[in-house]
Chain A
Amino acid sequence: MTPLLELLEFAVTRLRTPVVRGLSFTLEPGEVLTLVGRNGAGKSSLLEGIAGLHATSGELRCGGRPLAGAAIPERLRAGVVLCAEGRSLFPEMSLRENLLLGGYLAPRDAALRRAEELLARFPLLAERSAQKAGSLSGGEQQLLAVCRALMSGPRVLLLDEPTGGLAPLYRGAIAALVREVVAEGERSVILVDDNLDFALDLADRVLALAGGREVFRLTRSDRPSADLILRELLAAERRATPQDEGRTNREEA
């Protein structure tokens, strides 16, 4: 089976600083890949690099189609959709308009139908569909951002902190949405979330990053837990520390 997403020696540079280096992995259809690592490890930058927001090098393919160097609209047409950290809504537009903008590449009828489906699913959003997005509460904005990402029918959905500011009720709803996206075995999700219990619960595979590099991988059979991840990250840092100390000592000398 052709992997849905392939990265080979993929690197991301942000504001002239390399933030992801030499990363290679594939993403199979119907799979949820959870990225873990400390803040600053390069998780969000990786998602943004795949979405085309930063300069990248290396190979990137979606369904066998090369996307390295492709413009953002081309990536969107290929089905690579990012729900970025920080929501990035249009505050002066209504909730419904924000939602429809997420589906602007799809035929209008399909976009309207999809918007109605999502609003029916989240009564909290339906109640406020005419309200300006900027006047919604933080959690409502977050929910809207996730729904907007779903409007274009993504093949590879990149979710960055989708539960930030969400109460448990809606965290559960987001988890159900993610499961639904991958249920038919045609679409995949790459997930970053600091709520490790939430992120690991959904994960088929886990990829850990530190300093922009891969440090370890786990699969569902490894029974990844928050404690295991932290232990492994700590061990990886310890393995890296002696070299750093050596370097620091040389600098001090």
Chain B
Amino acid sequence: MSGLEELPRDRRWHQRLTGPPWQLRPGVSRRGRRLLLPLLLAAVLAAAELAAPDSFLTDLLGTACIAGIMVLSWTVFCGPTREISFGHAFFIGSAGYLAGFLQARSSWNPWSALLAGVGCGLLLGAFVALFTARHRGLYFSMVTMALQLTLYRALFLRSDLLGGEEGIVGVRSLAATRTGIYATVAAALVAACIVVDAFLCSRTGLLLGATGENEQLARSLGVRVALLRLRGLTLAGALAGLGGGLYVLTQGQANAELASEEISIRTLLLGTIGGLWSVPGALLSVFALQGVQAALFRLTRQDALAYTGLLLGLVLLLPRGLLPLRPRWPRQRSCPRPTTLGPDHDAPGLMLSDLGVRFGGVKALDGVSLEVVRGESIGLIGPNGAGKTTLLSVIAGVRRAEIGEVRWGGRALGAMDEAQRARLGIRKTHQQVVYFPQLTLDEHLAVAQACWQGGEFEVDAAALQRLAACDGAAGEAAPLERLPPSRARLAEIAMALAAPPELLLLDEPFAALDREEVEAVCEAIQALQRRGVTMVIVEHRLRELFRLVERVVVMDHGRIISRQPAAQVLDDPVVREAYGLREREGNAG
């Protein structure tokens, strides 16, 4: 290699990476700082009560506190996942009605009724998570809207038992005085704020956010998406239940409006205007807009038009929200216990038997059989359309083979999907770069380590440093969507270094990389090889590939046409013809 080793490294990266090996634990170092927001909120709410006890202001703030809990319940799930819940009133109304019914009709203690409301929201959240396990985007929104409308129109508006349009009246309040009510809802909001922030900054919150950013990539890392969504929606439902229960048990009645689409839309708007995935944003939008709405009403007595205009203006002028501050997952410098967790070299490796896949009339794989022993790296080459990527996809579980079998470690992988195989230690990188657009490189590594199944191990800091050094100062804290696409490819390799799989399937790892980046990726691959990671590498840049593998398998038209040592493969006339090499082109890449 020419003098590339002499290229100047970015100083700040160097300083940051010459410490102990990397260890990423989401959010731990900022735990103290994260308490600032709830403390500030508590102080402001207390100051308002001290300054103007039992006043219009505290009534307004009390209402805003309940609205804040409802909006936080929206933010805790819809923020990280980017789903749009159009039917949040389904949780709020159900919990409110249940709490009101139990108190007014069954004479439950108001606090027990509130707890029952929270439990109701929690169960409904779990129900919606299971019901929408396969629904994303527009379909999720439609399901939530349908559930809310069904409940509102078919039950709350029509049921005599629930009081019809008037609803349930005469519900006993949680506290006897206005001050007591205010203190209750304020404390509930502060608690909700702490819970939501802790959840979003936790490992679950990180992985849920990663899933919202790019579910395909998250699955390929082994993330249990359905379980994460269940946790998120359960918490969202419980918080919405808290909001609904508090509303009924402080206002003294549960009417059908609580379950109406107006509440759903209002919650959605405030959550969006504050800034998706932003707890401070959600709180700011609730308090600021509640105040603005009250002021408008006092001034004009006809606030709807002006308020709607204000909301539209905010959405147009600030599309990312009033305060788009998503949670951060900083890197930790704690030194892990160094252990050697290399794979079991005596265990069987990868065994492919007679794999077949068709795309319409085209045979993408036609009777492919191959064995790769543990710790071995093989190259997989062939002309375009030969079936290389399809083969990697079948091994990784992205695509099913119509016939044949894939075995890893002696175990038939059968119907296991990509995430299940990733949890067995099988991971595939992507030919077209995929990444979590809003996350930084550090946060990509945090996601990879949060998915790590093994014990603690020592990350190859030198190789990671070399990859990070390609990033330059500009990329230090920037989300990957703001950086060139090559950074995303480096991030994917870095994730493999930070949490090494046992079988790594690399699909064109050098595509669109410059020479320095190729060197850094080579170094990373060699570091993984030293750990004993088994690899199948698809690559057209043969010069670089032959540095990394001893054995090369050549495919054409879905079949394996040659298996040769790397040094001899291009001497095979069959390979040369299929691959389009007219004369000896050692540097064909």
Contact = CB atoms under 8 A, between A and B. Distances in A.
Interface of A: 14-15, 17, 38-40, 44, 85-87, 124, 127-128, 130-131, 135-140, 142-143, 161, 164-170, 172, 194-197, 227, 230-231, 234, 237-238, 241, 248
Given A138-B389, A138-B508, A40 B486 contact: yes
Contacts of A87: 432
B165 interface: no
A137 B512 contact: no
B385 A124 contact: yes
A114 to B, nearest CB: 22
Nearest to B516: A38
A238 B585 CA distance: 34
Nearest to A139: B384
In terms of DSSP, what is the predominant structure of the interface of chain B? loop
Contact of B8 (A136, A161, A170, A237): A237
A39 B515 contact: no
A248 B11 contact: yes
A230 B385 contact: no
Interface in B477-514: 481-487, 507-508, 511-514
B430 to A, nearest CB: 10
Nearest to A192: B512
A38 B580 CA distance: 29
18 contacts: A17-B482, A40-B472, A40-B474, A138-B507, A138-B508, A139-B540, A140-B384, A142-B384, A161-B512, A165-B508, A165-B540, A168-B540, A168-B580, A169-B580, A230-B3, A231-B2, A234-B7, A238-B8
Interface in B330-361: 359-360
A170 B580 CA distance: 8
Contacts of B487: 39-40
A163 B310 CA distance: 50
Contacts of B587: 197
A193 B475 CA distance: 22
**Which of A161, A166, A169, A195 counts the most B-chain CB atoms under 10 A from its CB?**
A169
The 6 closest A-B pairs by CB, nearest first: A169-B580, A139-B384, A39-B486, A138-B431, A167-B383, A40-B484
B581 interface: yes
Given A17-B482, A165-B508, A169-B579, A136 B385 contact: yes
A241 B508 CA distance: 33
A39 B512 contact: yes
Interface in B115-141: none
Interface in B2-55: 2-4, 6-8, 11
B512 A168 contact: no
B588 A168 contact: yes
B6 A234 contact: yes
Nearest to B478: A17
B405 interface: no
A138 B360 contact: no
B432 A138 contact: yes
A189 to B, nearest CB: 19
Contacts of A130: 360
A167 B389 CA distance: 13
A166 B540 CA distance: 7
Given A142-B384, A168-B588, 11 more contacts: A15-B482, A40-B474, A127-B362, A131-B362, A135-B359, A136-B385, A137-B386, A168-B580, A197-B587, A237-B7, A241-B8
